[in-house]
Amino acid sequence: DKDGHRHFMAKEIHEQPEVIAHTISRYIDGTSKTINLPNGAFDFAKLDRLTISACGTAYYAGLVAKYWFERWARLPIEIDVASELRYRDVPWTKDGGALFITQSGETADTLSALREARKNGQQIASVVNVPESSIARESDIVFPMAAGPEIGVASTKAFTCQLAALACIAIAAGRQRGTLSAEEESELVSGLLEIPRLVAEALKQSDKIETIARDIAKATGIFYIGRGVSYPMALEGALKLKEISYLHAEGYASGELKHGPIALIDENLPIAVIAPVDAHFEKTVSNMQEVMARDGKALLISCKDGIARAGEKTWANIETPKSHPLLSPIVYAVPIQLLAYFTATTKGTDVDQPRNLAKSVTVE
């Protein structure tokens, strides 16, 4: 049942305020403004390293989480896609933990990476949407997310719920390791509690994004750039576009553009700039200006303030609500998803069942 939407993907994009709220309610104690992890979770204070692994969109959720664990918990992170991690000769540490992220819980590469980590004495945790799945069963601890069934092949609500759960876990890790003060924890918890409302707000840009997508659909390709936590979001934005609209898209760290890909820039290759007003804003904007100076079409995705500061001579802007700066990926996921969705509907592709793709990849 698509609930009045044309596609499951649209329905699932619009469900996000509700399912993110459900997910964080599994972790947040609203009165004390603290995070509680399920019983039996890692003792983060004793871990000497956390290895994170997953595939596709779930991997990008892990990449965002790397910034969070490093910042809040000062925890060394190893991260790789599961199809590489399992074949590498990882020098596992004695007191290591391994965290796997998966919507389906059945992704073959992720499951094999989990078994490899287990064989090497790591404690195993997972963030899984399907509680009765293989990966959930083989984990010592399952961190819940509450996205509900995801039907569209492209991951949308599972991604933002993964992010919400991972933010909670990283905050709790920071408290356990004594690297995050009580004030910081309560500030982050307040920031998280605002996210469902901000995501709902971001969804209101839908019509504007549909108009922009009509032009993107005519482009030869698109670049996404971002810095810090927005870098994995650039990768995710490009993946989402590729898989449902078949438009060639690439995600880059903002600072990497000048090391090669800028050579491709012309008026037929728009560049979407994920630029929340955070510690990296000025730098990312100057990367955007390098593109504009070469006749590139810049699409600035930022908050009202960011657009006022840098959106005057851009090709187009998408306004996105301002959140706690480190939590911005959960909100910025929305314009990224909508841009892919409307590019695909403009081109008339099969949004829910893109060619060559399966919802759960059980082959290696």
Residues at the contact surface with ligand F6R, assessed by CB under 6 A: 55-58, 102-104, 107, 110, 154-155, 239, 243, 360-361
Nearer to ligand F6R, 11 or 175 (CB): 11
Residue with tokens 């909100």: 331
Cβ proximity to ligand F6R, 107 vs 160, nearer residue: 107
d(CA 16, CA 7): 15
State in angstroms the smallest separation of the CB of 273 from ligand F6R.
Answer: 22
Dihedral sign for Cα 89, 91, 95, 96, please. Answer: negative
Nearest distance from residue 180's CB to ligand F6R, in Å?
28
Q: Which CB sits closer to ligand F6R, 111 or 172? A: 111
Kindly state the smallest distance separating residue 13's Cβ from ligand F6R, in Å: 12
Pick between residue 43 and residue 350 the one whose CB is nearest to ligand F6R: 350
Nearest approach, Cβ of residue 132 and ligand F6R (Å)? 14
Smallest gap from Cβ 123 to ligand F6R, in A, equals 20
* C-alpha separations of 95 from 36, 48, 67, 91, 253 in Å: 22, 5, 21, 12, 32
Q: With the C-alpha atoms ordered 207, 329, 302, 199, is the resulting torsion angle positive or negative? A: positive
> Half-sphere exposure of residue 125, counting CA atoms within 13 Å on the CB side?
24
Residue with Cβ nearer ligand F6R (55 or 165): 55
By beta-carbon proximity to ligand F6R, the closer residue of 35 and 113 is: 113
Least separation in angstroms between residue 232's CB and ligand F6R is: 13
Which one, 179 or 360, has the nearer CB to ligand F6R? 360
CA distance 58 to 71: 20
- State in angstroms the smallest separation of the CB of 259 from ligand F6R: 26
**In the complex, residue closest to ligand F6R by CB:** 56
Assess contact for 200 and 17: CB atoms under 8 A: yes
Edge-first strand order for the sheet with 49-54 is 77-81, 49-54, 96-102, 123-128, 141-144
- Alpha helices (H) in 26-141, listed in sequence order: 56-73, 82-85, 108-119, 134-137
Backbone angles phi, psi at 3, to 5 degrees: 55, 40
Host H or E run for residue 271: strand 271-274
